Amino acid sequence: MKLTGILTAVITSGLTVGLGAIAPAQAAMFYAGTASTGKSVHVDMDSISRVSQRSVDFVYYLGGERIFAQANCHAGSWTTFPEGERHYPQSRATQRMVDFVCSRVRNVSTSVVPQTVRVIDPPSNVRATPNGRIVCTLPRTNIQVFESVGSWYRTHACGRSGYIHVSQIQF
């Protein structure tokens, strides 16, 4: 059996593999269809979070690959992270994906209210994506955080959007 067949079987059964590319078993998924590459496109519905009037953070799966992204709803495009590559729909599935995340009502508000928290275990890393590459390191200080993505909170403490783990902050 090919590796892709194994990964597909693992995804379908909801088990995790040590590759970090598999969706959690309890994740609510939206199936958008098949991309131009022939791979299935699924959106993790629990990951959808409006950043601004035009931008929405979300996680999607292309085949078995987990991808962090931000949709630009005005442009009808999305950017993948950590690469920072901008994409435009090349198939009905990717168009449905962008339309879905941009129209999703749950967890979406046009004004995201920040909360001030204290960094309690410095030096604390702020990452580009949850558990992704390090953007900056913070000393003991107060910062503002926005919505959570699992056990990570979005912040602009480094002068750009990043994520800090809940274990590093105190509300």
In the CATH scheme, what architecture does the domain 115-170 have? Roll (2.30)
Q: Tell me: the pLDDT tens digits for 111-165?
A: 457 889 999 988 999 998 888 889 899 999 999 988 777 788 888 888 778 889 9
Question: Closest Cα to residue 11, out of 49, 39, 48, 47?
Answer: 39
For residues 130 and 84, is the Cβ–Cβ distance under 8 A? no
Tell me the CB-side half-sphere exposure of residue 80, using CA atoms within 13 A: 12
Indicate the pLDDT class of residue 95, thresholds 50, 70 and 90. very high
Each domain of the chain, given as residue ranges in start order, spans: 3-103, 115-170
Q: Tell me: the pLDDT tens digits for 3-25?
A: 444 333 333 333 333 334 444 44
CA torsion angle 62 64 68 74 (round to 10):
20
What is the C-alpha to C-alpha distance for residues 81 and 10, in angstroms, rounded to an integer?
24
One DSSP character per residue, 85-134 reads EEE---SHHHHHHHHHHHH--TT--SSPPPEEEEE-SSSEEEESSTT--E
Look up the pTM and report it. Answer: 0.52
Query: Is pLDDT above 90 for 104?
Result: no
pLDDT of residue 106: 44
Query: Is pLDDT above 80 for 2?
Result: no
- Residue 94 CA: distances (Å) to CA of 27, 33, 121: 20, 8, 40
Distance of CA 103 to the CA centre of its chain: 16
Structure tokens at 171: 């509300």
